[in-house]
């Protein structure tokens, strides 16, 4: 019950601050761009759009979310409440995954992708990866400028290699862990269970790292270590 309330509260927060509106605009723009491409290009273009935007929403917006929660003293209230840190993290993961899945569904339909269930599952899993990365970075910063300095290299490292993999699916490119996400989204996966397992392992490792960072953030709420 408590976790459900946290998820609903996060969704209301995202709706209030325009996440759904922004992605509605982005989806309309992406659909327009897709229809400008030749039909043979739409599949790959749609896969790139899904991986680099809806799936990566957590990396883009987590800094703003955490900074808003800090400025509104939301974290101070949560730190002294019965809410557990893992519940707070799962709330962020699930609520942002909902936005990601809705946007990915729209883009996948516009691109004419025929592996919609796999696209949605891969988007949700990849969204968890990026949300945990974003949370790990956001827990350590005090301004949006600091967050941008941190995430720009992360964006390059996490987004560029899988895009290269989409066009050059050799053995070396496949070794990059997040290529598994692009393989599932684009429908080019040769072993979907294995690719899903790779992403789940990444999520488990990042969850542990994000948990440690969030613990430190909660303990220092208000500028004083509790």
Is the confidence at residue 221, as pLDDT, over 80?
no
pLDDT in tens, 24-35: 888 888 888 888
Q: Which domain holds residue 167?
A: 2-223
Is the confidence at residue 223, as pLDDT, over 50?
no
If you average pLDDT over every residue of the chain, what do you get? 86
How many domains is the chain partitioned into structurally?
1
SS3 annotation, the chain: CHHHHHHHHHHHHHHHCCHHHHHHHHHHHHHHHHHHCCHHHHHHHHHHHHHHCHHHHHHHHHHHHHHHHHHCCHHHHHHCCCCCHHHHHHHHHHHHHHHHHHHHHHHHHHHCCCCHHHHHHHHHHHHHHHHHHHHHHHCCCCCHHHHHHHHHHHHHHHHHHHHHHHHCCCHHHHCCCCHHHHHHHHCCCCCHHHHHHHHHHHHHHHHHHHHHHHHHHHHCHHHCCC
pLDDT in tens, 85-134: 899 999 999 998 988 999 899 999 988 888 899 999 999 999 999 999 98
pLDDT in tens, 43-101: 899 999 999 888 888 787 887 788 888 777 888 787 778 888 899 999 999 998 988 99
- Mean pLDDT, to the nearest integer, of 159-173? 85
* pLDDT at residue number 125: 94
Is the confidence at residue 225, as pLDDT, over 70?
no
Among residues of the chain, what percentage have pLDDT more than 70?
A: 97
């Amino acid at each position: 019950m408590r976790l459900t309330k946290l998820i609903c509260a996060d969704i209301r927060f995202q709706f209030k601050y325009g996440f759904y509106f922004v992605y509605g605009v982005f989806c309309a723009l992406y659909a327009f761009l897709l229809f400008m491409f030749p039909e043979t290009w739409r599949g790959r273009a749609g896969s790139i759009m899904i991986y680099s935007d809806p799936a990566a929403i957590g990396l883009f917006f987590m800094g703003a979310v955490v900074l808003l929660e800090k400025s509104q003293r939301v974290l101070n209230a949560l730190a002294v409440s019965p809410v557990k840190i893992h519940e707070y993290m799962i709330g962020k993961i699930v609520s942002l995954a909902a936005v990601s899945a809705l946007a990915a569904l729209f883009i996948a339909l516009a691109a004419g992708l025929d592996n919609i269930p796999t696209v949605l599952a891969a988007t949700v899993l990849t969204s968890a990866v990026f949300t945990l990365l974003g949370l790990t970075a956001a827990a350590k910063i005090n301004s949006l400028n600091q967050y941008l300095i941190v995430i720009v290299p992360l964006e390059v490292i996490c987004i560029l290699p899988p895009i290269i993999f989409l066009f050059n699916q050799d053995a070396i490119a496949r070794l990059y862990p997040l290529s598994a996400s692009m393989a599932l989204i684009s429908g080019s996966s040769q072993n979907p269970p294995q690719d899903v397992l790779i992403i789940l392992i990444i999520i488990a490792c990042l969850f542990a790292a994000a948990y440690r960072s969030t613990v430190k953030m909660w303990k220092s709420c208000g500028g004083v270590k509790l």
